[in-house]
């Protein structure tokens, strides 16, 4: 067993899904022509004045309440100064002294991960490196997009715990609808603060890793950085407190810069923004209108739908799956079947195609129709799968597709009986083997009958007919 323990805390930046920026009316839409969603306020031009977007505050409060935080009633904004090309004002509006939310937590398997604070701030622009000219191009579109930064305590000890914490936070924020939480597009960015120590010792020197853009790379980054730090300690070298950039292709991180101390940021209250007070009425309204969170679904699904804990956990890990499940189950009235179709079929098709589940958009009515057709024996399961694939590709009409492709199950007794007779006659050897006790040839005979029916037989009807013929 290793002598060392890994200690991890997270800083998670989440872009809030408002239409306009946090202090001005520019659009927050992702992508688009560079430097076209910019105005004097987000460029920090002299004489411009920021004005707070009330929706951004509401979203931040929703996140704080969902993550069990205490809410600061008299919040304000501070300026964090640093000099960098992606920050035209040369300061970022953030919250140091009175963050909006404090002392929250999120529960993962067997432990509670504490959240020190959630504060509001504005995003910076984007730097694009031009390989031809070896220069950097600056796009200010992202400047001023509202962010919350969720800061956890250093409560995680393994890569699994880190991934589970990020998953839980992401699922909660997705359920609230306050963010897209897309790691690939950068609307959710996870920085990993990591140190190692011998068991029972004081915390070691920590590094901060940035540029981690998937759950998979979080796990790899935690493992990689632990290993690097342990090797330094064991060879008697010192760990530098620094910011490192994770390189997922090379499976390693490299130093970006030595971390600036907080006082180097020269924080001060922002004189351009008035303090804002959170009232009891506002909080009551938000509490009353909070969407159902994954934690509540975890209790409700087994009770209301009779799902297993395992199936429930899979469904509640993605908001899209919950929406599809609840919508389709209401129509099919077969919640277990519906859950099985999502977990067994939809997810495996997505996995095979390498498509993320958080982007799934499947029409609940059409999906429910497939489940019902299979449950009623109108099409068999293999045909159902084929229709599902087609539905994932394009917005087909399920019944028309079944008809056009001749997928209706052949359940008519005479057709099935004819096929069975034909197979029994043509496979006398196998039939004899079966009758003398070799049960495994039954599957072979079933296959032959199904082939005879061009794969469209209803397996239940077919099995019954074959069993009778072989008696």
Partner 1 sequence: MEINRELTAHIAALSGIRLAEAELDQMTRDLRSVIGYMDTLEALDIASVAPMSHVQERVNYTREDAVRPSIPRGDVLVNAARKTDEYVVTPKTFG
**Which of the stretches 33-41, 60-68, 217-225, 457-465 binds partner 1 when contact is defined by CB under 8 A?**
33-41
- Nearest approach, Cβ of 155 to partner 1 (angstroms)? 29
The residue ranges of DSSP E strands in 213-284, in sequence order, are: 242-247, 252-258, 268-269, 276-277
- Asked if residue 276 binds partner 1 (CB under 8 A), the reply is yes
Query: Do 239 and 207 touch, CB atoms closer than 8 A?
Result: yes
- Nearest approach, Cβ of 152 to partner 1 (angstroms)? 24
- Asked if residue 231 binds partner 1 (CB under 8 A), the reply is no
Q: What 8-state DSSP symbol labels residue 349?
A: H
- Nearest approach, Cβ of 69 to partner 1 (angstroms)? 20
Q: Which of 13, 76, 298, 421 binds partner 1 (CB under 8 A)?
A: 76
- Asked if residue 185 binds partner 1 (CB under 8 A), the reply is no
Q: Which of 1, 109, 134, 289 binds partner 1 (CB under 8 A)?
A: 134
- Nearest approach, Cβ of 54 to partner 1 (angstroms)? 4
- Asked if residue 283 binds partner 1 (CB under 8 A), the reply is no
Helix (H, G, I), strand (E, B) or coil at 248: coil
Residue with tokens 């890994």: 6
Helix (H, G, I), strand (E, B) or coil at 256: strand
- Asked if residue 31 binds partner 1 (CB under 8 A), the reply is no
Please state, in angstroms and as integers, the Cα–Cα distance from residue 414 to each residue in 133, 410, 418, following that order.
Answer: 76, 10, 6
- Nearest approach, Cβ of 392 to partner 1 (angstroms)? 33
Q: Which of 258, 262, 277, 426 binds partner 1 (CB under 8 A)?
A: 277
Query: Do 148 and 99 touch, CB atoms closer than 8 A?
Result: no
- Asked if residue 176 binds partner 1 (CB under 8 A), the reply is no
Residue with tokens 């495996």: 348
6: left (phi over 0), alpha (psi -120 to 50) or beta: beta
Q: Which of 5, 11, 27, 215 binds partner 1 (CB under 8 A)?
A: 27
- Asked if residue 202 binds partner 1 (CB under 8 A), the reply is no
**Which of the stretches 63-71, 151-159, 221-229, 269-277 binds partner 1 when contact is defined by CB under 8 A?**
269-277
- Asked if residue 36 binds partner 1 (CB under 8 A), the reply is yes
Please give the size of the binding site for partner 1, defined by CB under 8 A.
Answer: 54
Round to whole Å and give the CA distance between 47 and 114. 41
Query: Residue 313 burial (CB < 10 Å; 0-12/13-18/19+)?
Result: middle
The residue ranges of DSSP E strands in 242-374, in sequence order, are: 242-247, 252-258, 268-269, 276-277
- Asked if residue 347 binds partner 1 (CB under 8 A), the reply is no
Q: Which of 4, 140, 305, 325 binds partner 1 (CB under 8 A)?
A: 140
If we measure between CA atoms, which residue out of 205, 234, 241 comes closest to residue 3? 234
Range 386-415, binding partner 1 (CB under 8 A):
none
In the shown chain, the binding pattern of residues 241 to 260 toward partner 1, with x for contact by CB under 8 A and - for none, equals: ----x----------x---x
- Asked if residue 264 binds partner 1 (CB under 8 A), the reply is yes
What does the block give as tokens for 12?
A: 């998670």
- Asked if residue 261 binds partner 1 (CB under 8 A), the reply is no
Closer residue to partner 1 (CB): 10 or 96: 96
- Nearest approach, Cβ of 36 to partner 1 (angstroms)? 5
Q: Which of 1, 47, 110, 129 binds partner 1 (CB under 8 A)?
A: 129
- Nearest approach, Cβ of 23 to partner 1 (angstroms)? 9
- Nearest approach, Cβ of 361 to partner 1 (angstroms)? 24
- Nearest approach, Cβ of 170 to partner 1 (angstroms)? 23
Please state, in angstroms and as integers, the Cα–Cα distance from residue 123 to each residue in 45, 212, 312, 464, following that order.
Answer: 17, 17, 35, 65
Residue with tokens 């999906």: 367
If we measure between CA atoms, which residue out of 62, 96, 121 comes closest to residue 290? 62
Closer residue to partner 1 (CB): 2 or 274: 274
Q: Which of 11, 30, 34, 232 binds partner 1 (CB under 8 A)?
A: 34
- Asked if residue 135 binds partner 1 (CB under 8 A), the reply is yes
What does the block give as tokens for 203?
A: 């915390």
Query: Do 344 and 350 touch, CB atoms closer than 8 A?
Result: no
Partners of 80 in beta bridges? 92
For residue 208, report the phi and psi dihedrals to the nearest 5 degrees. -115, 125
- Asked if residue 228 binds partner 1 (CB under 8 A), the reply is no
**Which of the stretches 18-26, 111-119, 151-159, 177-185 binds partner 1 when contact is defined by CB under 8 A?**
18-26
Partners of 130 in beta bridges? 135
Contacts of 149 (CB under 8 A, 6+ apart): 11, 12, 13, 14, 94, 118, 119, 121
Round to whole Å and give the CA distance between 408 and 401. 10
Binding site for partner 1 (CB under 8 A): 18-20, 24-27, 33-40, 43, 51-57, 76, 81-86, 90, 126-129, 134-140, 245, 256, 260, 264, 266, 269, 271, 273-277
């Amino acid at each position: 067993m290793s002598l060392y323990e890994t200690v991890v805390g997270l800083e998670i930046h989440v872009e809030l899904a408002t239409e306009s920026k946090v202090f001005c009316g520019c659009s927050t839409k992702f992508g688009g022509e560079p430097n076209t969603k910019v105005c004097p306020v987000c460029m920090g031009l002299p004489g411009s004045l920021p004005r707070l977007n009330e929706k951004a505050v509401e979203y931040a409060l929703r996140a704080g309440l969902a993550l069990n935080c205490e809410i600061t009633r008299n919040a304000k904004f501070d300026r964090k100064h640093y000099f960098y090309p992606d920050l035209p004002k040369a300061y970022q509006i953030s919250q140091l002294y009175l963050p909006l939310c404090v002392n929250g937590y999120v529960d993962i398997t067997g432990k509670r991960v504490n959240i020190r604070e959630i504060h509001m701030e504005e995003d910076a622009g984007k730097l694009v490196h031009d390989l031809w000219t070896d220069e950097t191009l600056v796009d200010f579109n992202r400047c001023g997009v509202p962010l919350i930064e969720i800061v956890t305590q250093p409560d995680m000890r393994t890569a699994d715990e880190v991934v589970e914490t990020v998953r839980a936070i992401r699922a909660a924020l997705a359920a609230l609808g306050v963010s897209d939480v897309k790691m690939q597009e950068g609307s959710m960015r996870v920085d990993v603060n990591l140190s190692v120590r011998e068991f029972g010792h004081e915390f070691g020197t920590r590094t901060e890793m940035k540029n981690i853009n998937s759950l998979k790379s979080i796990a790899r980054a935690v493992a990689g950085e632990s290993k690097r730090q342990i090797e330094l300690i064991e060879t008697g070298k010192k760990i530098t407190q620094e910011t490192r950039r994770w390189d997922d292709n090379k499976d390693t991180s490299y130093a970006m810069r030595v971390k600036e101390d907080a006082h180097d940021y020269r924080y001060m209250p922002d004189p351009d923004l008035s303090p804002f007070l959170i009232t009891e009425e506002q909080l009551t309204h938000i509490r009353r209108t909070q969407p159902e969170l994954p934690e509540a679904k975890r209790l409700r699904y087994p009770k209301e739908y009779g799902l297993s804990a395992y199936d429930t956990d899979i469904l509640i890990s993605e908001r899209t799956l919950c929406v599809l499940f609840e919508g389709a189950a209401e129509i099919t009235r077969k919640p277990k079947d519906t859950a099985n179709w999502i977990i067994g079929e939809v997810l495996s098709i997505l996995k095979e195609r390498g498509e993320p589940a958080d982007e799934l958009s499947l029409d609940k009515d059409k999906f429910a129709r497939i489940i019902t057709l299979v449950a009623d024996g109108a099409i068999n399961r293999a045909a159902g799968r084929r229709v599902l694939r087609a539905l994932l590709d394009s917005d087909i009409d399920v019944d028309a597709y079944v008809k056009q492709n001749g997928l209706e199950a052949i359940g008519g007794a005479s057709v099935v009986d004819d096929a069975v007779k034909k197979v029994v006659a043509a496979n006398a050897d196998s039939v004899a083997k079966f009758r003398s006790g070799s049960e495994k040839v039954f599957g072979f005979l079933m296959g032959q009958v199904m082939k005879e029916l061009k794969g469209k037989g209803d397996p239940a009807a077919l099995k019954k007919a074959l069993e009778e013929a072989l008696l």
